Amino acid sequence: MFMKQLKFLMVAFTLLMGVSLTSCLSDDAGESMYDGIGYVRTVMGTYFIDPNGNTYYPTSSSVVEMEAQGFKMSEADLAYIAFKYVEDTPTTKADANTTPKTFRIKLVSAAAVDSYQTEEAASIEDMETMVPENAPIVTLEPTDNYGQTYKPWMYGTEMLVLPVSWKMENKEEMLKQHTLSLVYIDSDEAESGTELVFYLRHDKGTDTKTDVFAVRNKAYNIKNIMEGFKTKNGSYPTTIIVKAKTDVDGATLPENYTDYSISLNWSTQSKSN
């Protein structure tokens, strides 16, 4: 049981890695296993796009290979991929000097991030009626076995990614029982001209146990909310606050919220348009 739990957590933490798409060049030890690695969004289940607008067309054979390992490109939204460039293809050569660029790639690994639409409510009371909540989370800032702490982050201006930790029964099938909904309240008085506020609500379904920690990245599409905020206030928010009810034991739902703050600097933040 312990080994299964450890493997489960290790798989979860592989999806809590770096934000941007980065290159891995060859070194003296030989050729790298991949040329690039990072988060991308899938488009129509056929290609990927990164926050800077670069487009990546995977070879059919590499997609088939990834799907044989459990990655379903047609069902994925945000994904974490590693790849090798297919350098001798006309697409890569023709667009090598353009911005944004288009590339043909061979997938080396691919994993989908749990992705959802954000719920909207007219008021706190409306949210409490519409979106069930019967369990706390543990934290939105989990720490792995190596001491690295993960925090909420933005993918461009469109996806809010939350590294959520909660408690559950030590059965992988119980993951389906847990629903973590992000809610935006349009009339929230806590919101200012520079801050955007969300609420995270946890419904544990039929799971009655708190045997083990679960850790997963949860990505929420907030593009329309961000654009609405910009239209109303003249710019994107400089701070996003996520309110969640937390308990270190993952058992007791408290009355008060814990606030998690994300500071945004749009002069350096990667944006997708």
Statement to judge: residues 158 and 247 lie in one domain:
yes
- 273 assigned to some structural domain: no
Which domain-ending residue is among 84, 112, 140?
112
Q: What are phi and psi of 6, to 5 degrees?
A: -60, -45
At 132, the amino acid letter reads P
**Per-residue pLDDT for 7 more than 80?**
no
For the stretch 236-263, what's the b/e string if a residue is b when 16 or more beta carbons lie within 10 angstroms of its beta carbon? bbeebbbbbbbbeebeeeeeeebebebe
- 269 assigned to some structural domain: no
Statement to judge: residues 201 and 242 lie in one domain:
yes
Q: Round to whole Å and give the CA distance between 45 and 27.
A: 34
Statement to judge: residues 250 and 165 lie in one domain:
yes
Statement to judge: residues 245 and 122 lie in one domain:
yes
Statement to judge: residues 12 and 133 lie in one domain:
no
Statement to judge: residues 220 and 93 lie in one domain:
no
Q: Are 86 and 105 in contact (CB under 8 A)?
A: yes
Range of the domain at 93: 2-112
Query: Sheet holding 212-221: strands in order across?
Result: 114-117, 212-221, 159-168, 153-155
Cite the beta strand spans of 6-50 per DSSP E: 22-23, 36-43, 47-49
What torsion, rounded to 10 degrees, do the Cα atoms 248, 252, 253, 255 define? -90
Statement to judge: residues 25 and 130 lie in one domain:
no
Confidence of residue 119 (pLDDT cuts 50, 70, 90): very high
What's the mean per-residue pLDDT of the chain?
85
Least confident piece of the model among 93-97, 138-142, 223-227, 241-245: 93-97
